[in-house]
């Protein structure tokens, strides 16, 4: 009887582990609680009714309002959003350093487990080049802009060489 109990307990633990892993993966970066938006789409269909022109017009008006209200935030690239944040909140030296930022990747996808962002600049010379000091200011400003429990920002030069990295 002891062996059967162990096998049954192992099966239960295995099923629980599989359930936990599947619940935590595959959400595709949606902020809908991992439901993939299927429930929201169904709720939108039911709220507007089938073929209801007033419901469709209301949705179009809502979309236009959200586009007009979020035009600066949603239309701007990550680099533009970062530069705007530093222009508003940064020190003069940080503003000068961030003027060299060309591209930011990975700042919009965070899960607080292992967040990674890349900042590309027009500096040259890699680790020992002209951008060594300012890139540390860029990493520091990035940490002020984004917050993560376990984030790493890496700053690259124009040739794609790592200049510096820092936690955010």
pLDDT at 13: 62
Least confident of 6-10, 96-100, 104-108, 112-116: 6-10
DSSP-derived secondary structure for 106-137: SSS---SSSEEEEEEES--SGGGSTTHHHHHH
Closest CA to 122 of 155, 153, 91, 82: 155
Using pLDDT thresholds of 50, 70 and 90, give the confidence band for residue 132.
Answer: very high
Instruction: For 52-98, write each residue's pLDDT tens digit.
Output: 444 444 444 444 444 444 444 557 899 999 999 999 999 999 999 99
pTM of the model: 0.57
Neighbours of 79 (CB within 10 A): 17
Residues sharing a CB contact under 8 Å with residue 159, sequence separation 6 or more, in sequence order: 124, 126
Q: Locate the DSSP E strands across 8-161.
A: 101-105, 115-121, 151-156
pLDDT at 11: 66
**Which is it for the CA torsion 137, 142, 145, 148, positive or negative?**
negative
Instruction: For 14-61, write each residue's pLDDT tens digit.
Output: 676 666 555 665 544 444 444 444 444 433 444 444 444 444 444 444
Contact 101, 70 (CB under 8 A): no
Q: Locate the DSSP E strands across 18-161.
A: 101-105, 115-121, 151-156
Please give the Cα distance from 121 to 103 (Å, whole number).
7
């Amino acid at each position: 009887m002891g062996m059967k109990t162990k096998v049954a307990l192992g099966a239960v633990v295995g099923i629980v582990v599989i359930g936990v892993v599947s619940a935590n993966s595959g959400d595709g970066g949606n902020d809908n609680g991992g439901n993939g938006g299927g429930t929201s789409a169904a709720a939108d269909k039911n709220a507007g009714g089938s073929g209801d022109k007033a419901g469709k017009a209301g949705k179009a008006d809502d979309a236009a309002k959200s586009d007009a209200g979020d035009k600066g935030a949603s239309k701007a690239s990550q680099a533009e959003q970062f530069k705007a944040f530093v222009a508003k909140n940064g020190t003069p030296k940080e503003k000068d350093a961030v003027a060299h930022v060309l591209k930011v990747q990975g700042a919009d996808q965070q899960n607080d487990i292992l967040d990674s962002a890349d900042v590309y600049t027009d500096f040259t010379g890699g680790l020992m080049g002209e951008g060594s000091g300012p890139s540390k200011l860029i990493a520091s400003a990035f940490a002020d802009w984004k917050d993560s429990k376990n984030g790493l920002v890496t700053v690259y030069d124009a040739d794609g060489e790592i200049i510096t990295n820092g936690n955010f």
